[in-house]
Amino acid sequence: MRRYLCKNFFHYIFTTTLSCDNLPRNGEILRKAVLAYAVEIAPQLAEYIRDNATFANTVVDRIVPQEQESDYNYPSRLLQVRDRAPIVTEPFWQFVVEDNFTGDRPKWEDAGVIMTKDITPFLYMKSRFLNAVHSFIACLAVRAGIKYMHEAIALPEFHLFTRLLMDDIAAATPVPREMCEQYMEQVLLRLSNEDLPDTTERICSETARKVGKYIFPILEDAYSRKVSMKRIILPVAAWLLAVREGASESGQSYHAKDTQSAITAIQQGAVISQILGLESCEQTEVVDNECHRALRDLQTQGLLTTLKNYCEGGFLNETASA
């Protein structure tokens, strides 16, 4: 782009830019990148974009499991066409767009797109009830030696625990309960889809990063809202045991796909705050104490018995420091 471009042309190019990247606050990230690049080209261009353009945030929600050999048969069977690189996804999709446009826009809501002035509740729901819960189930599954997500959620102990865990997450999340309830039911159905096998190994990769990105914020809100952390921490403790022992509860080999620094720290006895490098305070002490308690329960009672025990009693109503 050159400096001699007129403002009318700037206006033609920079009205509203829509990011479809699977990143939280993707529009804001894109805006910063565009402005940083524009400053290098021409300061007046950056100023014009800053004053006249918008970058709408979106939430892109659809699970794409690890590639399966059977994926290559779908196009031929369904459409009678040959596709050398098919991408098979779940039937569910949700596309949420922030209604932040400089002018007229297509009526995407007619095609099922959710248009909203405030995208924050949808970011909370996806990160907590899909991303975090996905990781929670996978953490429990690798400890149990279960290969696929749908196999794990089909077990009564896993299904009940997950549903109660989601209740705890909802109590800790600043989103209207009715919005959470509808999304929670959809997630349970999505993760139970046996026609779309998704490996627990794939979901459990980079769990240390996911604890910091998705799970610890839930624990922070649970602490501040006096919601029990017991069920929220248990899956993380199950994963810590699998990493420490390099095996599932039944002795199957488990090789964590994580940073070597995180793996080494866990093998040396680190728990949540130490893995994340957090300073010690009352909140982190509560989190770590709950984690130690969950580790003891898993080691003395076993996974399935612990899941059953954690489904009993009024954990939802206990205070975080109990």
C-alpha–C-alpha distance, residues 10 and 16, integer Å: 12
pLDDT at residue 13, as a whole number: 56
Q: What are the tokens at 296?
A: 């003891």
| Stronger pLDDT, 29 or 314, i.e. the higher one | 29
Q: What are the tokens at 100?
A: 């932040």
- Please write the tens of the pLDDT for every residue from 94-143: 999 999 999 899 999 999 999 999 999 999 999 999 999 999 999 999 99
- Please write the tens of the pLDDT for every residue from 220-249: 999 999 999 999 999 999 999 999 999 999
Q: In this model, does residue 11 exceed pLDDT 60?
A: no
Query: How many residues in the chain?
Result: 322
pLDDT at residue 252, as a whole number: 94
| Stronger pLDDT, 180 or 314, i.e. the higher one | 180
Residue 99: alpha-carbon gap to chain centroid: 23
Question: Half-sphere exposure (CA, 13 Å, Cβ side) for 41?
Answer: 17
Closest CA to 302 of 241, 231, 233: 241
pLDDT at residue 81, as a whole number: 85
Beta strands 58-61 and 94-98: pairing type?
antiparallel
C-alpha–C-alpha distance, residues 95 and 99, integer Å: 12
Q: What domains lie within the chain, and their CATH numbers?
A: 7-116 (3.40.50.720), 120-317 (1.10.1040.10)
Burial 133-144 (b: 16+ CB within 10 A, else e): bbbbbbbbbbbb
Considering Cα of 306, then 312, then 318, then 322, what sign does the dihedral take?
negative
C-alpha–C-alpha distance, residues 22 and 168, integer Å: 26
- Mean pLDDT for the chain overall: 90
**pLDDT classification of 321: cutoffs 50, 70, 90:** very low
- Nearest 5°: phi and psi at 104? -65, 155
- Please write the tens of the pLDDT for every residue from 241-293: 999 999 999 999 999 999 999 999 999 999 999 999 999 999 999 999 999 99
C-alpha–C-alpha distance, residues 188 and 190, integer Å: 5
